[in-house]
Amino acid sequence: MNSTLGINFRSGTNEAQSIQTNFDLGILGFNFDSTANTKEDLSGLFSQINLSLQDFSFALPDSIHTIQFSSVNVDNSVDATIFSNFQVIPKSTTIAPGSPIISARIESLSLQNNTLKEIQETGVFDMTKLSLVNPVIDIFLDSAEKEVKAKPGKPKNKEGLIQTILLQDILVQNGKFTLYNKELGPIEHLAFDGVNVELAELNFNLIGKDQKISPQFLLEKDHSLSLTNYVYYSSDSLNRVDIGKLSLLDDDLIVEDVKVGPTIGRYNYLNQQGFQSDAIDAEIKKVTLLNIDFNEYFLNNKVRAQGLFLDSLSLDVFRDKRLPIKEGVYKPMPQALMRNSPIDLEVDSVKVNGGLIRYEEFGPKSMLPGMITFNQVDVKLAPFILTKSDQDYPVKNSELHATSKLMGQGDVQLEATLFYEDPIRWKWISHWVNWI
């Protein structure tokens, strides 16, 4: 009881502390039999063991990170072990070229217990139901990939008790993850708050030489992921995207409470542009990308999905024609934008349900702006394809169907075919507008 353990190691003329902790150890049913073969059944020495550690500190063999936690109680009579105030503390965040540096603070870390008999029989330590509550994890990366020379490993003459550490299930609750450049600081757009992750049946050997964790490996397993309150700024910081919640459930991506708009307001945005342009504010209650083909993405860097659904879209477009026109600027047709996209995207159909579109403008000599509104907008476009400029467009045309109420009163219906030919030959056919 009330004992202290300290383990130091020496490397050459340098001495360092490896483990420091206070501990209590209790053993019930101790049975030391000189005739028993403890190599085959170490658990036969006792019926119950309880180990309590306080203020634990362990310097990892990489000489960079130290693990600390305030307390843990290991008891083979209960189902799980819980670490309180678990921390990973790096010596520095700018060292070790080619290797990431991790700084972590975890309020509570729990792990389902293994039996000593199972470990001794199989050589496998099974990390099942690994749970991290309120983790704050900072990851520091190099500016460019560094070449790291592998150090030759020392041959092992004898196998230890544990030959395999299998990571099976992970549950992360309310995590915060931030990625940094070791030299430059936080990496833009790579700070995530309110992260919840659940991964099952990974069967990943943490000490296996040939196994690597990759996004493709994780997405092939049973998974769910969500994050909240994500903010993205455009490269010039003039526009901002706010996401209330983003969820990845199996093969479906769900984005909720999306807001897009100028960071400095529509009037300041247009005045800063100095010429006529569109200031766009948009809100979408829910966006669903259905049945994503992740294999297509990892093999061909192309997003392929069954459907894209936008629920409760509210789109406000504002233009001030009192500003000068910028010479030589022409709005491209929708087909031109779709054929010159920065990404490859192919969706069987896009549906907009219950949308609202408002267009507002100041005339060249107006004192007040005018506005036109389309309420109850329902749209279906099939297929919807984005390609890069150096690629051939895979289809000849898309079908568009839309209904709405003009100013909340007049019924509007549009049927159209979009052709993807040379701009001079583009045309819309089979269209009509009905006003009732």
- State the residue range of the domain holding 351: 230-325+332-436
150 Cβ contact list (under 8 Å, min separation 6)? none
In a domain, 171, yes or no: no
130 Cβ contact list (under 8 Å, min separation 6)? 109, 110, 111, 167, 168, 169, 170, 171
Query: Using the 8-state DSSP alphabet, how is residue 430 labeled?
Result: S
In a domain, 17, yes or no: no
Q: What is the predicted pLDDT for the residue at 176?
A: 94
Beta-sheet pairing, 345-362 with 384-386: antiparallel
Beta-sheet pairing, 370-382 with 397-406: antiparallel
> Are 291 and 306 contacting, i.e. CB atoms less than 8 angstroms apart?
yes
| Residue closest to 96 by CA, chosen among 34, 141, 144 | 141
Beta-sheet pairing, 164-167 with 185-200: unpaired
Domain count, the chain: 1
In a domain, 321, yes or no: yes
In a domain, 92, yes or no: no
Q: What span, in angstroms and rounded, lies between the C-alpha atoms of 212 and 219? A: 14
In a domain, 37, yes or no: no
Q: What b-and-e string marks burial along 34-61, b requiring 16 or more CB atoms within 10 Å of the CB?
A: eeeeeeeeebbbbeebeebbbebbbbee
Task: Please state the pTM of the whole predicted model.
Answer: 0.77
Q: Checking phi first, is residue 85 left (phi over 0); if not, alpha (psi -120 to 50) or beta?
A: left
In a domain, 258, yes or no: yes
Sheet with 204-205, edge to edge strand ranges: 124-127, 164-167, 204-205
Q: Checking phi first, is residue 203 left (phi over 0); if not, alpha (psi -120 to 50) or beta?
A: left
> Are 340 and 380 contacting, i.e. CB atoms less than 8 angstroms apart?
no
Q: Per-residue confidence of the chain (436 residues) as pLDDT tens digits?
A: 666 766 665 555 555 556 778 877 777 766 666 555 455 455 556 566 677 888 888 887 777 888 898 988 877 677 888 889 999 999 999 888 888 899 999 999 998 877 666 766 777 778 788 899 999 999 998 876 555 555 555 555 455 556 777 888 899 999 999 999 998 899 888 889 999 999 888 887 776 655 666 677 777 777 788 999 999 999 888 999 999 999 998 899 999 999 999 999 999 999 998 899 999 999 999 999 999 998 898 888 899 999 999 999 999 999 999 999 988 888 888 888 898 999 999 999 999 999 999 999 999 988 899 999 999 999 999 999 999 987 888 999 999 999 999 999 999 999 999 888 765 544 444 444 444 4
SS (H, E, C) 115-180: CHHHHHHHCEEEECCEEEEEEEEEEEECCCCCCCCCCCCCCCCCCCCCCEEEECCEEEEEEEEEEE
In a domain, 348, yes or no: yes
Q: What span, in angstroms and rounded, lies between the C-alpha atoms of 48 and 52? A: 13
First-to-last alpha carbon distance for the chain, in angstroms, is 87
> Are 146 and 182 contacting, i.e. CB atoms less than 8 angstroms apart?
no
